[in-house]
Amino acid sequence: MKSATPKVLHTLCGRPMVGHVAEAARGLDPGRLAVVVGHGRERVAAYLEGVDPEIRAVVQEQQHGTGHATRMAMEALAATDGDFTGTVLVLTGDTPLLRTETVRALAAEHERAGRAVTVLSAFVPDPTGYGRILREGAGEDAAVVGIVEQKDATPEQAAITEINSGVFAFDAKLLRDALGRLTRNNKQGEEYLTDVLGIAAADGLPVGAHVVADWHETLGVNDRVQLAELRRLLNRRVAEHWMREGVSIIDPATTWIDVQAKLGRDAIVHPNTQLLLSTVLESGAEVGPNCTLTDTFVGEGARVSNATTEGAEIGPEASVGPYTYLRPGTKLARGAKAGGFVEMKNAEVGEGSKVPHLSYVGDARIGEGCNIGAGTITANYDGVRKHRTEIGDHVFVGSDTVLIAPAQLADGAFVAAGSAINGAVGPGELAVARGRQRNIAGYVERKRPGSKAAAAAARAKAAKAAESAEAVAQTPAEPTV
């Protein structure tokens, strides 16, 4: 990956690769779940602890292959639980498209057939880089006798298109015994987990393969090109799921939806929209175009356009945008509005209240039925501490107003446009906090002589004087008595 981030922590659709695989495994409700970690073990283990404390992180100090990694996990589990029996499933941490349903089908077939080993296989268009499934004859019903890695394959074996996904179901007793018989007699000098299948077959034990219906599930990630391709495939899967659930996604190719997001029936998602992490769209909500919503709740019938939101709560029938930024802690009640070029942070806006345009509202509570004029700012930071602004119900704030926190505007208060409010305004009071207008005649001619402004002022004065003279000349003379 050429990255400081461990490979399995690279994300797609809101979750690291290893998180997708662990989720697929957890869906089976296994008796034990262990993840073998090596490079970047502290970061990988910390992530796993945060999402599923029951996962056992097993350290593989020296990386001697997949068989060695499996042996480390088996020994670590045996040290605490003793030698257990039953089915052991082995998954790879870099196959994030693998579904729980597929792994469940693998385990079911393995146990129904009474096999020692069952490998999840797939027929792929290009098998380059994958181990090949060896059968005694042609077709899916032919007996499986082994797996050969690409570097050890003959030209005839390399032409096989049925590949090993790296996912296996084992009988625990057989696996424990076979892992102790693995050698490193191969070009990689590693203990191959795939050799367990050959050992079982040589011992006369039943082995087989479960062919996955969708070969894309077996795709692994070894570089960022492959990661981007799998991200696209997974996003398409997520989008198709929600469309089948009754969501209208106008352009799935430009819509990105994380796996944690939830979308209600009849929600509409317009192009160039990202619904990230645990974002929720309720029934009838409409989002986009050009939106990025992170951990945001959007209520029924709400409308969000050309906006960026983080940790916000947008109530039913509320309106947001265009070109709006809602930061964490913002809550819009039913029918509230955060209009064009508005930024909010840790702000509560009451039912039916409007902040239509060009405003900043931070650390504030706005009651019901208020109108906050264009260019209004809550000055919430004094250079040391943050302070709150409290605005009651049915308050009108004129345009280009600064509310210097801590400010309190009681129910029914009015604030004149252009005011700077730094105190309380009582119920029904009109607050005017601005200097009286004063015009200073001749200022430009005296202070900016020779400027374009002075020339324009002189022309305007001359034109005005000429108009006045013409008006006087056209006025009828008073009759003589």
Please say whether the beta carbons of 371 and 354 come within 8 A: yes
Please say whether the beta carbons of 377 and 357 come within 8 A: no
Sign of CA dihedral 421, 426, 427, 428: negative
The secondary structure of residue 152, as a DSSP letter, is: G
How many of the other CB atoms lie within 10 Å of CB of 467? Answer: 10
CB neighbours of 389 closer than 8 A, spacing ≥ 6? 361, 363, 364, 365, 378, 380, 403, 405, 406, 407, 408, 409
CB neighbours of 296 closer than 8 A, spacing ≥ 6? 279, 280, 309, 310, 311, 312, 313, 314, 326
Question: What's 415-448 look like in SS3?
Answer: ECCCCEECCEECCCCEECCCCCCCCCCCHHHHHC
The secondary structure of residue 328, as a DSSP letter, is: T
Task: Reply yes or no on whether 357 is catalytic.
Answer: yes
| Active-site entry in 39, 216, 357, 394 | 357
Backbone angles phi, psi at 238, to 5 degrees: -65, -45
Radius of gyration of the chain (CA): 35
- In angstroms, the CA 96 to CA 94 distance is 6
How many of the other CB atoms lie within 10 Å of CB of 326? Answer: 28
Inter-helix orientation angle 172-179/195-202, to 10°: 100
- Residue-wise DSSP of 369-405: T-EE-TT-EEE-B-SS-B--EEE-TT-EE-SS-EEES
Contacts 24+ apart (CB under 8 A), 100-107: 100/23, 100/24, 100/25, 100/27, 100/28, 102/24, 102/212, 102/213, 102/217, 103/24, 103/25, 103/27, 103/28, 103/167, 104/27, 104/28, 105/210, 106/167, 106/169, 106/210, 107/28, 107/169
- In angstroms, the CA 274 to CA 296 distance is 11
Half-sphere exposure of 36 (CA within 13 A, CB side): 23
Question: Which residues are catalytically annotated?
Answer: 357
